[in-house]
Amino acid sequence: QVQLVESGGGLVQTGGSLRLSCAASGRTFSSSIMGWFRQNPGKEREFVAAITWTGRNTYYADSVEGRFTISRDNAKNTVYLQMNSLKPEDTAVYYCAANRRQFYTNYKSPDEYGYWGQGTQVTVSS
């Protein structure tokens, strides 16, 4: 089992920045990729960014490319999402996720991930 706890959400003005953290515990070595997703009420969960266990590969949704940066500190078992130049359309609950296997096939799909955090609200005011 892997437990994930997000933190760092909040209210920020357009153009501002936030850094989300995802602290992982448990059998973290069993996961090959971790990701951030976001969701608004009535909408599907949307891929934001992902990073492999080694940190060698990172992936971003087109909507956040160049504004968000995903990183990880394996010594602290923590994944970060630095969000800059925030827009009102970035408003959502942000979820951290980890997969359950030593390989991954579709980092953009929520179905790839078997472990999820409880989510943290990010609100960007216009």
Neighbours of 116 (CB within 10 A): 17
Q: What is the pLDDT of residue 104?
A: 92
39 contacts 93 by C-beta, under 8 angstroms: yes
Say how far apart CA 3 and CA 118 lie, in whole Å.
10
Closest alpha carbon to 50 in 30, 35, 64: 35
Q: Kindly give the pairing relationship between strand 10-13 and strand 33-39.
A: unpaired
Q: Residue length, the chain?
A: 126
d(CA 114, CA 94): 16
Q: Is the dihedral of CA 27, 19, 47, 39 positive or negative?
A: positive
Question: Per residue in 73-114, pLDDT tens?
Answer: 999 999 999 999 999 999 999 999 999 998 999 999 999 999
The burial of 105, by beta-carbon neighbours within 10 Å (0-12 exposed, 13-18 middle, 19 or more buried), is given as exposed
- Render pLDDT for 25-41 as a digit per residue (tens, 0 to 9): 988 777 899 999 999 99
| 60 has pLDDT over 90 | yes
